[in-house]
A and B are shown apart, each in its own frame.
Chain A
Amino acid sequence: MPHVRTTRRGALGLGLAAALAFALPFVPLSAGAADADAEAFVDKIGEKVMDILRDGSLDRAGKLAKLRGLLDESTDLDLVARLVMGPTWRQASPEQQAAYTKAFRQLINKTMADRLGDYGGETFGVTGSREANERDTIVSTQIKRPGGQAPIAVDWRVRNTDGERRIIDIVAEGVSLVVSQRDEVASIVGQKGIDGLIQTMEARAKSDKPIETTQPLKQG
């Protein structure tokens, strides 16, 4: 079912890849490393996720708390938040930046909670890596799904800052978390400004109701 396979992949990439990737079990596939350390870094995160998901002593809330801890330590969420805001970041006041970053974290947490429980039987393995620039390595992984469904390709962008590695983007079937969120944020900023963005994000983090958006103001 080529069509279904394709769209399903896209679905998984829908700006929610972080939450998704952090809730999938892990099985190492191969080495052949362009950057063995970065691959090992992603590998290790996968192992930890698997341990959490398989831990029968944890209830849903317990698993979620552990996954959040792992997300926090392995991902540079402040940098991701800033990248997502794009050029608008420099226009925002320090107070707005702080409020936005807080709302961004709340939203990631909510998304993760919604996504947890959608998984069963998937496995995950590193398939290779390549250098994107002097700081960043892209580690490629594959998520294998049960029932003969096509695997999903997930790339992790790992930034090395003075020897410390952290994830700064996750790309599922070509759909980047940072790019998707960036587009959404740009759209909201265009409609409602920075304060409107922060309010929208805060409301979003508290509610499951669809957000009604107005027409964007066309700028000549």
Chain B
Amino acid sequence: MTEATAMRNAACAAALALGLGGCATAAADGDPFEPVNRAVFAFNQTADRYVIAPVARAYGHYVPEVAKQGARNVFSNLGEPFTFVNDVLQGEPDRAGETFSRFFVNSTLGLFGLFDMASMMKVAEAHDEDFGQTLAVWGVGDGPYLVLPILGPSNLRDAGGRVVGYATNPASALAGDVVGSGVGAGYAPTSLVYGGVDTRWQLDPLFTDVEKNSLDPYTTFRTTYQQNRAKEIRNGAEAPPNSSYEDIFEDTK
């Protein structure tokens, strides 16, 4: 108990030092910067329409699937040590063990990560952790929602975690978003390095869907990011029964 509290206090201090949102534990602090965020979002959409999407589609259509998958595997493998560190920081020894095994197997039998042997041999499935998630586990709230130029949806905590991620894991800078923190941020046009282009290609159906069916694309990206990110932070566990989600359904009859 005291240990957890001490850890949380340390995390809050660290968060403050990084200029993050401090320790608001509320699930979401809303979108106080909405006008600025919308402006950045509009810029990102334009960059996507004229540059990022065409590049990603060319990559998607012309690079053979086997090459794409190999590259994804290599970058993913380079990110495993980073995931391992965050597993440990989050106090998840079992997941840390899985990550370690994956990195070991894939770096050797998988030929420097080219093949995901760990999944094929059922050693362990991949999962991500990043420093933003670690901060969340330590009790740092989301902070306000942010749309980062080119990188897309984030929040104050995850943006700070992303900086730490890039600083501590050179592979993340190389791979764009593949292993960087603020993982879910890849919903939006990302950097023009490999991870960004590949992610954009994989998300092409989503982008088309939003274009065709969303009432308000800005809000669609925001809510999707926030909800999916909350689930990642819970590592897939159920939301608490007294959550605001449950309140929605109390509303009726």
Seen from chain A, the residues whose Cβ lies within 8 Å of a Cβ on chain B are: 1-16, 79, 82-83, 86, 107, 110-111, 114-115, 118, 130, 132-133, 136, 148, 150, 153, 157, 161, 168-169, 173-176, 178-180, 182-185, 187-188, 200-201, 204, 208, 210-211, 213, 215-216, 218
Contacts and interface: CB of A to CB of B under 8 A. Distances in A.
Interface stretch (B6-14, B50-58, B89-97, B209-217): B209-217
Contacts of B198: 1, 4
A176 B245 contact: yes
A188 B216 contact: yes
Most buried by B among A82, A161, A179, A215: A179
A56 to B, nearest CB: 25
A133 B206 contact: no
Interface string B72-111: 1101100100010000000000000000000000000000
B63 interface: no
A5 B127 CA distance: 9
Contacts of B203: 7-8, 11
B251 interface: yes
Nearest to B75: A1
User: Main SS of the interface on chain B?
Assistant: helix
13 contacts: A2-B128, A3-B179, A10-B225, A13-B224, A14-B210, A83-B248, A86-B251, A111-B209, A114-B209, A118-B205, A150-B126, A175-B231, A180-B224
Contact of A4 (B72, B83, B120, B248): B72
A151 B128 CA distance: 15
B251 A83 contact: yes
Contacts of A178: 248
Interface string B192-233: 000100110011011001111111111110111101101110
A107 B216 CA distance: 13
Given A13-B224, A168-B249, A7 B183 contact: yes
4 shortest A-B CB distances, which residue pairs? Answer: A174-B231, A11-B206, A2-B128, A1-B72
A204 B215 contact: yes
Contacts of B248: 83, 86, 178-179, 182
B106 to A, nearest CB: 12
B212 A208 contact: yes
Contact of A218 (B35, B76, B231): B35
Nearest to A4: B202
Contacts of A82: 252
Contacts of B211: 208, 210
A184 B223 contact: yes
Contact of A184 (B128, B178, B220, B245): B220
Interface string B122-137: 0001111000000000
A133 B224 contact: no
A150 B119 CA distance: 10
Contacts of A201: 215
A3 B183 contact: yes
B60 to A, nearest CB: 12
A111 B220 CA distance: 14
Contacts of A176: 227, 245
Contacts of B210: 14
Given A11-B206, A83-B249, A188-B215, 19 more contacts: A1-B198, A2-B179, A3-B177, A3-B179, A3-B199, A4-B72, A6-B184, A7-B202, A7-B203, A10-B225, A11-B203, A14-B210, A16-B209, A83-B251, A136-B249, A174-B231, A184-B214, A200-B215, A208-B211
Interface in B10-37: 34-35
